[in-house]
Amino acid sequence: MKNRYSFSLILLLLAAALVWPAPPAQAKESETPLQAYVEALGPGWNLGNTFEASGDETSWGNPPVTKAFIDQLAAEGYKTIRLPITWRHRMGDAPDYAIDPAFMARIQEVVDWSLEAKMHVMINLHHDSNWIMNMASEHDEVMARFNAAWTQIAEHFKAYPDTLMFESVNEPRYSDDWSKDEPEYFTMLDELNVSFHSIVRSSGGNNGKRPLVLSTLTAAPTEARLLELSKTITKLQDKRLIATFHYYGYYPFSVNTAGTTTFDDTARQDLIQAFDRAYDIFTSKGIPVIVGEYGLLGFDKSLETVQHGEILKFFEYIGYYAREKKMPLLLWDNGQHFDRRTFKWVDEELHQVMVQGWKGRSSNAQSDSVYIRKGSLLQDTVLELNMNGNIFRELLSGDKVLTEGTDFRLEGEKLILTSALLERLLTEEYGVNAVLTAKFSSGADWPIKLIRYDTPVLRSSQGPQGIYSLPVLFNGDSLATLEAVYTGGGNAGPDEWTPYKEYIRHYYPDYKTGEIKFTDDFWSGVKDGEMQLRMHFRSGEIVPYTITKEGFSIIGVSAEDASAEEPVQETGQSPEAPELSAEPAVPALSPAGEEAGPGPGSGSRQTLLIVLISGLVVLAAAGIYWRTKANRKRGR
């Protein structure tokens, strides 16, 4: 946020800076042995959706953990592995709450492999937070089970070296409202953490000095929650305690909602402020901090939720800023980043940005995509670079090094692609015509896609709510976000606080079939009547559309068809052939991971009678068209 200051105020601030005593050097964090220990933990990685799964370790889609995989993870450069573990369904009944010996042995096996691979290990109570949440109404039961779990874990691992850490509980909470702060929440969390500390420290062996990790309420880095955790840590007077929080980005950016489609200054400031708060409250006072999980929340549904270049910029910046604040990052990985079967990274560009961020910074640009309208006059095109302390080295098209002056120019931090280069590389085909690679003195390369596009064309269509979709000729463009408002006023659909709907959760483009599809979650929040949609595309194009909902009957009319009275496509027939897309196709999955319903096709406008009959048929067969809305299994 830019603030305006009067000239006199600026002079006063400058004068104050000259005479004000310099703050004490922020080096206290390096004075403690535990801070050095913590700084050696990065980079770190989470074995997500495995031992916290509701069944066995494979029930959420990942293969069994093997020694070969652990060894490969260490070979990738990871120094710490966090093992999220849910113990509840592996424990017996009161009064012993005995942990299944076979399960404890399996955890020990993975811990042993990790330590043998020279990694640090963190184990915790993970989705046990779901029963700990009932502490207010089931206090004695929750405390008895919690204490029994840590008594057994501490006893089992007490001879292990201090490269094994214990984390009290993952994302502790006492309400389904993750944002709600109540004094009793902090009191209950303090009681849990104090009990955890007492059990481990009194259990003998190496547990007397083992590093213990304590989380804020819901692992959120808000000031109130950080300060409350600070009170507990201060009270315990133990120099082997580590604070932790999780960071998944500025929420609208993280899930692509409320129109926040880029890693803009608001998203950047949210990150900066979160890390600064944790630094000021803990690190600067000699209490180390671990970022136990980080990533983007939208990844829980699809890696395509956030535009790829913006993902790269977010990961580059968090890697840099966490290092500045001396806080190691532990990547949250459900299995979507590092393939546990092939031992390959799913997104190599993201992988390189993360790796380069372990020691330095990578350069990037305002975008990784240059959209050029088909038939437009080709002109020199400017891309603003974010050098991040590096020097531009060269620009490649494929393996060919391009010529400065002829193919591109560099003016300060502006990369100018010449019209001659565009003329040579662009074709008349829609979609990605060429990929350039910008190389710098340090860090990861930056890809630049040259995309030929034209204004997307939305077609009118109709169909029952459960399978309705909107036919689109994408013409090389890609959908960025979608607005929905009622014609009579007010935001339409779920999350009424914003007209912009959430990508993947409410709608998603299917570039293979040429459709925009809507989820059951979207329709559940839509009232009967007419609403106006505005499709925002990544080229900057905005295309309007009108949808009328009556019961389970949906009629969509494009702006062109509304004025020309052209035919309406009916869901259930073959669509026109789709064009090449500038972005990877989003898998045609519902948020629950099920295959999406059939797509729309060409057809004629139906009469009102047919629409009414169709509506009655749909009402009679509603059970067929409505899928059961399942909660996506997430390992957080």
Q: Which residues are catalytic?
A: 171, 293
Element (H, E) at 252: helix 251-255
Closest-CA residue to 406 (of 430, 382, 393, 422): 422
Please name the residue that has the structure tokens 């109404």: 137
Which secondary-structure segment (H or E) carries 197?
helix 183-201
- Report d(CA 447, CA 484) in Å as an integer: 33
Quote the tokens at residue 630.
């399942």
> Could you tell me the two tokens for 119?
């990694």
The angle subtended at Cα 289 by Cα 109 and Cα 296, nearest 5°, is 80
What are the tokens at 615? Answer: 């509506």
d(CA 255, CA 248): 9
**154 Cβ contact list (under 8 Å, min separation 6):** 166, 199, 200, 203, 207
CA–CA gap between residue 399 and residue 436 (Å, rounded): 9
Say if residue 68 is exposed, middle or buried (CB neighbours under 10 Å; 0-12, 13-18, 19+): exposed
- Sign of the CA dihedral with 363 first, then 366, 368, and 373 last: negative
What radius of gyration, in Å, describes the C-alpha atoms of the chain? 27
Question: Can you tell me whether residue 497 is helix, strand or coil?
Answer: coil
Cα(270)–Cα(197) distance, integer angstroms:
32
SS3 204: coil
Q: How far apart are CA 422 and CA 406, in angstroms?
A: 11
Q: Tokens 């935001």 label which residue? A: 491
Burial of 587 (0-12, 13-18, 19+ CB in 10 A): middle
C-alpha torsion sign, points 557, 560, 562, 568: negative
Residue 240 backbone phi and psi in degrees, to 5? -115, 35
Token representation of residue 113:
């492999």
Which residue type, as a one-letter code, is found at position 356?
Answer: Q
Q: Cα–Cα distance between 225 and 229 in angstroms, integer?
A: 6
Q: How far apart are CA 339 and CA 489, in angstroms?
A: 47
The secondary structure element, H or E, covering residue 531 is: strand 529-537
d(CA 334, CA 345): 13
